Structure 1
């Protein structure tokens, strides 16, 4: 954020010039992403009230005065107008909210139908994740770029962390008074934009660092590895949290949108199907092969037909309600003979998160997991993500993040204006190298430590470092 180096031979100014160069590179690559994430993130903070306003005809109904229609009647009303099968049933959070019924079409696409719970009248439908909040979330997560979105998130978040660390080093007071806590000059002057960038950066830097770190769980390499590790160790799911039941190959994320730490969680298998599986092993080989093929087909993503002997959605909801599930929970319907009813809810307060799996035949609870059952790592990550989403502390959380998002956009804009005013005509304006090549190498080596922690950022850092080394003939200052 400090942009005018001196020719002092002291170590601090030599390091200052080297750090400034990498701060420039970080800003060059990451500022457009940061501005985009701040703008889309600000919109997502208020996604629920905006959703109710934009999709009012689908999401808002007259509160039910009498006995509401049964869930099975609501599902039947939807399947009478839809070509597919129901895979998810979501209760409303509020008394004037509609029921949301997810339907998987024969071609594999998914739609959500909105139903008045009092009358079972179908209000309309949208593609799954087709609401305002769904679109904004896709924009925020960079889904527009396709399969490499999570890789870009990791690279952008890693460079944002590097940007904050180098920015604080450059801002650190070295006897100067201006540009530390106050802005000097006027908007026509580059000094004004330099000070505005520095002062804004130091105030919002901690929030930007927090958002970058808590956004990492959605990244390709770092997030995937931490997720897999958290789901296989006591720090994620302590011993005894998963009860002693056979596990299926299905995952909770196949039917609903679970919290980050539950994305890799497998679903238990219903006991009647497990008993049948044991019986198959004692059957003749020909019968084993035939039944094994049927069982495998039953596990497929399109097999949503009700199974003989299952208790049904109405009885399942009665049991879930008796457990005290928070309002607005979703129930994923069983898939095939080994499937289970899975209820999940992720309210604003992270300590109310809960996932319950129920045997589809006996109604027995196979797993009942809440936030308190997570390990230290799982609880910390879930808390960070909830704060990142503006949920954990209600309106105060959202308002603070909204102000932070505006400050981040200002930080990006002031950095761009400052660079534009400083750059030479026809040039890029890369900060000059210090005279000592050893200083550049030391700074680069220190930054590579962060690259080890965040591999994709480290790989891009290495590429830029090699190019910089080659193009400057071995980091020789001109």
Structure 2
């Protein structure tokens, strides 16, 4: 009886060691691949959190004005902006968010899309820049790596999925197993590897859930997962309220095609058409009237108005404020002034509202400065975790090898992990596919290629 018990104990210990080594190995490989991307996301994300403060401090010359008397009309501001760029036409107008803010007009012409900042009181043109050169736009494009093409953007999407894997596997590796140090305290000094191991583990343990939150709320912007998630929500009545579009003719354009900024849930919603019959006889209401209607509908200050470029186009007013309760999009017939579609945040289904809320918190907009500082602390934790991971690996790697954690004694432990990886791949296909490739490389290529096997020792 004692022999059987002893054998069972040995078997259990071997299984525990195998699982630990397998997860440690996954954590290592995922971290090795994801660190450069996580550093980029953390640094650029930190900048974007304080975009308003950066705009006011470094670009105040084009965003900040001195209120003096009555503001000019939207149409007059659009005319002034158009005169500043030859052969260009106004495509959208941004209402000043505050009395001391400039109006922004987007122009489209032979030189591409251009932003013109206008003092709404005296009509002075404060700055003219290409839309793609605007600071916030550049930071967002670098953040997602879309600046470097679709392949780089997909790699960021994979990194987002891997970040979730790192959090889950990291919590497992950190979980106390009779040890007292390295759980909530850091042992040793910077000269010792244990110091960096503990600093890495404790940082990940305390910030893990917030890092996971940032990763999963960033996925809606990803090229593959985000687009498919948006389509799935819409098809199942969980995104924008599609029934509001049933009674109006629709164009082939969607909201993101015409608006400088829109809510994620609404960005793929089709743009309706103005009364085609009226286009033959009626005159457009004009930008001033469209702005007036948007205000009457309850749009908070700082809303954008897309200007129709075709006879059947519509004026589209949209606002995406810090307070999500004020999020709203309205399509206005350019002849009758009728609001063809008027959808607010509280009309989204629950899941749509939840995703928009997550995005708002992700961007540091939900609870003011506290939200910004909380997300900044999470970004700093990502940077610290990345740096400590590299230092920890550098200190433990053997000469001539990569210092990869050893293979588990029992390879059968991978069967359950493969199932988990498969389920994860269903939820996040790009990341799941990368994990399967990583497993195949580790289990097939590394095992049977002597050179790689030695390098991974």
Matched residue, 1:367: 341
Q: How does 1:216-235 map to 2 (within 5 A)?
A: 216-235=219-238
Equivalent pair of 2:14/2:409 in contact (CA under 8 Å): no
Equivalent of 1:205 in 208, 213, 221: 208
Residue 56 of structure 1 pairs with residue 27 of structure 2? no
Aligned position for 1:393:
367
Shift of residue 243, structure 1, vs aligned partner: 5.7
TM-score (norm 2): 0.92
Deviation, 1:131, is 2.5
Residue 407 (structure 2) pairs with residue 407 (structure 1): no
Question: Which among 381, 406, 409 is matched to residue 355 of structure 2?
Answer: 381
How far 1:233 moved relative to its partner? Answer: 3.2
Counterpart for residue 3 of structure 1: none
C-alpha separation in 2, matches of 1:147 and 1:470: 29
Q: Scaled by the length of structure 1, what TM-score is found?
A: 0.88
1:221: how far off? 2.2
Deviation at 1:275, TM superposition (A): 6.2
| Structure 1 residue 130 corresponds to structure 2 residue 133 | yes
Residue 441 of structure 1 deviates from its aligned partner by: 3.4
Closer, same or farther: CA 99–276 of 1 in aligned 2, 3 Å: closer
Q: Secondary structure at the match of 1:241?
A: helix
Contact 2:279 2:311 in 1 (8 A): no
Deviation at 1:450, TM superposition (A): 1.0
SS in 2 for 1:368: strand
- Contact residue 91 and residue 330 of structure 1 kept, 8 A: yes
Distance 2:353 2:184 in 1: 36
Structure 2 residue matching 1:392: 3-state secondary structure: coil
The equivalent position to 2:395 in structure 1, one of 412, 418, 421, is: 421
What is the CA deviation profile of residues 378-431 of structure 1, one whole-angstrom value per residue up to 9, with x for unaligned ones? Answer: 111100000000001111100111111111111111111000000001211111
Higher mean alpha-carbon deviation, 128-137 vs 116-125, is at 128-137
In 2, Cα distance between equivalents of 1:230 and 1:85: 35
CA RMSD between the two structures: 2.2
Find the partner of 1:175 among 175, 178, 197: 178
Q: Deviations over 1:411-465 (max 9, x none)?
A: 1111110000000012111111122111133323322321221111111111111
5+ residue gaps, structure 2: 1-9
Are the structure 2 counterparts of residues 205 and 315 from structure 1 closer, same or farther at C-alpha, using a change threshold of 3 Å?
Answer: same
Aligned to 2:310: 336
Aligned residue in 2 for 1:100: 104
Matched, 1:190 2:193: yes
**More divergent stretch after superposition (159-168 vs 137-146):** 137-146
The alpha-carbon distance between structure 1 residues 231 and 149, as it changes in their structure 2 partners (threshold 3 A), is farther
C-alpha distance in structure 2 between counterparts of 1:140 and 1:403, whole Å: 17
Matched length: 441
- Equivalent residues of 2:240, 2:269 under 8 A apart: no
Shift in Å at residue 237 of structure 1? 2.6
Deviation at 1:149, TM superposition (A): 3.9
The answer as to whether partners of 1:71 and 1:313 remain within 8 angstroms in 2 is: yes
Question: Is 1:457 aligned with 2:431?
Answer: yes
